Amino acid sequence: MRQLWDKDEIAELFDLPFMDLVLRASEVHRYYFPANEIQLSQLLSVKTGGCAENCGYCSQSAHFDTGLKASRLMAVDTVLAEAQKAKDSGAQRFCMGAAWRDLKDRDVPALAAMIGGVKAMGLETCATLGMLRPDQAVALKEAGLDYYNHNLDTSPEYYDQVVTTRTYQERLDTLQAVADAGMKTCCGGIMGMGESRADRVSFLHQLAALPVPPDSIPINNLVAVAGTPLGDKVAREGGISGLEFVRTIAAARIVCPRSMVRLSAGRTEMSEELQALCFLAGANSIFVGDTLLTTPNPQPGTDAHMMRELGLRPMTM
């Protein structure tokens, strides 16, 4: 039976002694998932830069000068070749991201061909393409899309410090359209943007209180991109501590016990030891490959070494 969490209960999780919180999260994780298994995902930017949104962390926003050159939607054959390379390198899940405010109908046929082609390779499919209408969500589902990613980013209370060109409700509406179409939802956020612990509590409360809890929760540690307001802020003032980040992973695992918890952006700044704590606290997926959309990601050899050292293995799909 699903437990409905209130904010006070989630705040109490964060206030637990660190070891007690991680132990509890680890026990929840091992109840719902095999121990020591990690899903390996790869993310490709199929359309980069020039986004009309003003998300204060994002190198792809047209509002900020980050030196990133905008590009058009990649050709279907090019995307499928990249997906095959990802599979050959061990990826089990292939995600396609486009820097759009919302999906345009003219792009649906090309995206459907990409999704269908990736699905035919035996890879789990995911896409993040901005806001969707219900009929567009149905079209992506029919093309073979397993997951649709649409992050809440942060709490409702801190949201206007992150982005003002899209409302929180619009994000919730897209998630509802995805769920109504029968797709799995991938929805998470970014830690270390200057938010408080209360904001992290409120963010997790939002996820846990969704009509259908996310099947996948990416937890990102902000990559401070020069030229973005939040990147410059964190460069000046500092971000989230490693242990607080682990607390957030652990709390996410406990309040959404059946969800995949994805240790996402920011791993290049994390030691193997810190990542190990994240896995102990319930994270069970990482992104592999050299880049994560436009930000750096650990090299394949680095991740292979870490998995050997920790005794981790690719998840049985």
Tokens 């939802």 identify what position? 185
Annotated catalytic residue within 24, 58, 187, 256: 58
Question: Bridge partners of 44?
Answer: 96
Annotated catalytic residue within 51, 187, 256, 278: 51
Annotated catalytic residue within 24, 93, 126, 267: 126
Tally Cβ neighbours within 10 Å of residue 36. 14
Rg (CA), the chain: 18
Annotated catalytic residue within 95, 187, 256, 278: 95
Annotated catalytic residue within 186, 187, 256, 278: 186
Task: Measure the CA–CA gap between 58 and 129, rounded to whole angstroms.
Answer: 15
Annotated catalytic residue within 93, 171, 200, 262: 262
Q: Which pairs with CB-CB distance under 8 Å and at least 24 residues apart come from 169-175?
A: 170/131, 171/131, 172/210, 173/131, 174/131, 174/132, 174/150, 175/150, 175/210, 175/214
Question: φ and ψ at 97, to 5 degrees?
Answer: -120, 140
Contacts of 176 (CB under 8 A, 6+ apart): 211
Q: Residue 291 in contact with residue 297, Cβ under 8 Å?
A: yes
- Note if 95 is an active site residue: yes
Q: Which amino acid is at 77?
A: D
Question: φ and ψ at 102, to 5 degrees?
Answer: -150, 160
Structure tokens at 297: 């990601």
Task: Measure the CA–CA gap between 173 and 179, rounded to whole angstroms.
Answer: 10
- Note if 278 is an active site residue: no
- Note if 262 is an active site residue: yes
- Note if 51 is an active site residue: yes
Structure tokens at 117: 């082609």
Task: Measure the CA–CA gap between 86 and 171, rounded to whole angstroms.
Answer: 29
- Note if 186 is an active site residue: yes
Task: Measure the CA–CA gap between 195 and 248, rounded to whole angstroms.
Answer: 12
Annotated catalytic residue within 2, 24, 30, 55: 55
Residues carrying an active site annotation: 51, 55, 58, 95, 126, 186, 262
